[in-house]
Amino acid sequence: MNHWSIKKIICYLTYKLIAKHLPGPGEFLMLGKMCHRFRSKISKPLFRDAAEKIGVGKNADFDNGSNIIMRDHANIGPEALISGKLGTVTIGKHVMMGSKCIIITQNHNYLEKGYEGFIGKDVLIDDYAWIGHRVTILPGVKIGKHAIVGAGAVVTKDVPDCGIAVGNPAVIKKIRKRQPA
């Protein structure tokens, strides 16, 4: 936390202790929506880069957020876990994410005795992609523009633009018709 401003420290503590736990947009009518807006706003200064409008779901966990880039209208789903600090996670414009997704950016160096050290790789979820519930995305994966990842998939390899990937390990089942840019 060496180079953190006071504002960032306050946002971090507010997010971790309060905002993270507040209701989601589908709960308690207007109150849930207000809480969701508050949570999203308070988390913004934590990210490496964040557009004006972003969404952060209830109980989303992302360390201190400093390796995450949130493009315009990017969403992190409820109860997401974004784990590992050695790779950057970029969440593109209008990305939708179901609940309980896991995005991992680093592996233990298993060639070393005792797993010493980590190997980090960036993850990119490109614009307009839709990530279903309980998807796991492994280090180094790129999900293409307008791609869809089906519920429960474990994505080990890149998904092309407009690809629909399902299963564990995820395979491309279909290609969507090209979407407007």
Ligand X SMILES: CC(C)(COP(=O)(O)OP(=O)(O)OC[C@H]1O[C@@H](n2cnc3c(N)ncnc32)[C@H](O)[C@@H]1OP(=O)(O)O)[C@@H](O)C(=O)NCCC(=O)NCCS
Determine if 166 is a binding residue for ligand X (CB under 6 A).
yes
User: Which runs of consecutive H residues, i.e. helices, occur in the chain?
Assistant: 6-17, 30-43
- What is the nearest approach in angstroms of ligand X to the Cβ of residue 152? 5
Residues whose CB is less than 8 angstroms from the CB of residue 9 and which lie 6 or more positions away in sequence, other chains included: 1
57 belongs to the binding site for ligand X (CB under 6 A): no
The correct pick among 25, 57, 132, 140 for binding ligand X (CB under 6 A) is: 132
**Alpha-carbon distance 61 to 76, whole Å?**
9
Three-state SS string across 80-120, please?
CEEECCCCCEEECCCCEECCCCEEECEEECCCCHHHCCEEE
Would you count residue 94 as binding ligand X (CB under 6 A)? Answer: no
**Could you say whether residue 154 binds ligand X (CB under 6 A)?**
no
Candidate list 34, 51, 86, 96; residue touching ligand X; CB under 6 A: 96
Active site residue 73: no
Amino acid letter for position 76 = I
Shortest gap between Cβ of 176 and ligand X (angstroms)?
9
Q: For residue 161, how many other CB atoms are within 10 A of its CB? A: 18
Q: How far is the CB of 148 from ligand X (least distance, A)?
A: 5
**Nearest approach, Cβ of 20 to ligand X (angstroms)?**
20
- Binding positions for ligand X, rule: CB under 6 A: 96, 98, 132-133, 148, 150-152, 164, 166-167, 173
Please give the positions annotated as active site. 108
